[in-house]
Amino acid sequence: MIHNPFKVGELVAGDPFCNRTKEINRIRNAFLDSQNIILISPRRWGKSSLVQEVVRLVDKNAIIIMIDCFGITSSEQFLESYLTELLKASSTLYSKTADMVKKFASSISPYISYSYGPNEEIKFGINIPSEEFDPVVILGMAAKIGKDKKIPVVVCVDEFQKISEWKGGEAFLEQLRSVWQKHANVCYCLYGSKRHLMNKLFNDSSKPFFRFGENIFLERIPTPEWISFIQKQFKRTNKKVSKEIAQQIVELVHGHSYYVQYLSRLCWANTPHELTEAMLMESYEEYLNDHQAMFRKQTEGLTAYQVNYIKAVLNQEKQLTSTHVLKTYKLGSPGNIKRIETSLQDSEIIDLFTGTVIFTEPFFEVLFRRYFMRHD
């Protein structure tokens, strides 16, 4: 049975991963050179998959520790997750993991238990009393292990901006910076989905992680690369798609990585032999229908000001604070525009990172016109 070659809702690497050769090489070099790196882009542009692809390439040449801050709500949970992933990643380097812990973190070794699963994979139980819970000890282990084994260590932290939302999050960020900046043999790869918050964390001189490492602002994958990828995936599964229709797939979802894969997946499923324009548009309507619930959730709480602001943007009004636009769209005072933009950005409806308004979800504009502007 031939499986659909396009993947959504999961990290992709290998064949389902589209290009990013330049970024892959840059991040790979950073991993092996112990150069800290920060990835900034809108959500679902493929940051996590990009990191996963580089991890796949360097896995045998480095200790890789991967943490996702989504669902973590405190520094204690973060440290437990960090320690668990560190133990998993480094357990094969030592004949006895317990001896390794005693060597590099003797104060916490009595509070870590070990067991083996059905496939001989090692499992860890961590129950460190609060009085023995020393973040500096835990955060320093990776660098010590890397130095001992003369191997690069890479710590990848997804949704890093979440830390600033925790109780005591700012203080914990200061502690992380004070410890991590001393680790010359560790690459810290930090990335997250809220671009404006990530930018503030790393480019605001008042923040602890200011100038912590190289900043990579992830751009959209160029359309020609997507076209080649889509055609290749169709061809290797014995189906066809023309260059022109592959380009339409990309343009319909504005080159957004997640949705190019999403729409391509629907198109492939609806194609017996060769994708036609009719099949493409049928798949596109299916894609829009799939995201109706998400669109309704995004728009159900919008104020009249916010709705009118979006209408002005979609009507390509350039001077949003001009008297004409404010009066025509009933937007209130010029100062109100900033408040509207901040609230829409915090709700992840728009992105203002480049100085222009971009809708974070490519289906939003089409569905907004369909439901909110049909009588305009």
Confidence tier at 376 by pLDDT (50, 70, 90): low
CB burial of residue 10 (10 Å; 0-12, 13-18, 19+): exposed
Which of 187, 217, 247 is the C-terminal boundary of a domain? 217
What share of the chain in percent tops pLDDT 90?
Answer: 68
Structural domain of 244? 223-290
* Distance, CA of 339 to chain centre: 26
Stretch among 91-105, 117-131, 260-274 having the lowest mean pLDDT: 117-131
In DSSP notation, 178-213 reads: HHHTT-TTEEEEEEES-HHHHHHHHH-TTSTTTT-S
Residue 6: inside a domain: no
Question: Do 307 and 278 belong together in one domain?
Answer: no
Same domain membership, residue 121 and residue 44? yes
pLDDT at site 234: 97
Residue 242 pLDDT > 70, yes or no? yes
User: Looking at residues 50-76, what average pLDDT do you find?
Assistant: 92
CATH of the domain at 119: 3.40.50.300
Work out the widest C-alpha separation in the chain, in whole angstroms.
74
Q: Which tokens in the block code for residue 222?
A: 């160029």
**Which residue do the tokens 């940051």 mark?**
47
CATH number at residue 274: 1.10.8.60
Among 27, 11, 16, residue whose Cα is nearest residue 218: 27
Statement to judge: residues 41 and 131 lie in one domain: yes
> For residue 301, is pLDDT > 60?
yes
- Average pLDDT across the chain, whole number: 90
35 and 150 housed in the same domain: yes
Of the residues 197, 217, 237, the one at which a domain ends = 217
| Residue 374: predicted pLDDT | 78
Q: What is the dihedral of CA 239, 244, 249, 255, to 10 degrees?
A: 130
> Where among 290, 309, 333 does a domain terminate?
290
Q: Is there a domain that residue 48 lies in?
A: yes
Among residues 196, 345, 362, the alpha carbon closest in space to that of 294 is found at 362
pTM of the model: 0.79
Q: Is the pLDDT of residue 12 over 70?
A: no
Average pLDDT over residues 178-188: 95
Average pLDDT on 234-259 reads: 96
Claim to verify: residue 254 and residue 326 sit in the same structural domain: no
What are the pLDDT digits (tens) for 315-374?
999 999 999 999 999 999 999 999 999 999 989 899 887 788 999 999 999 999 999 987
Q: Report whether 198 contacts 38 (CB < 8 A).
A: yes
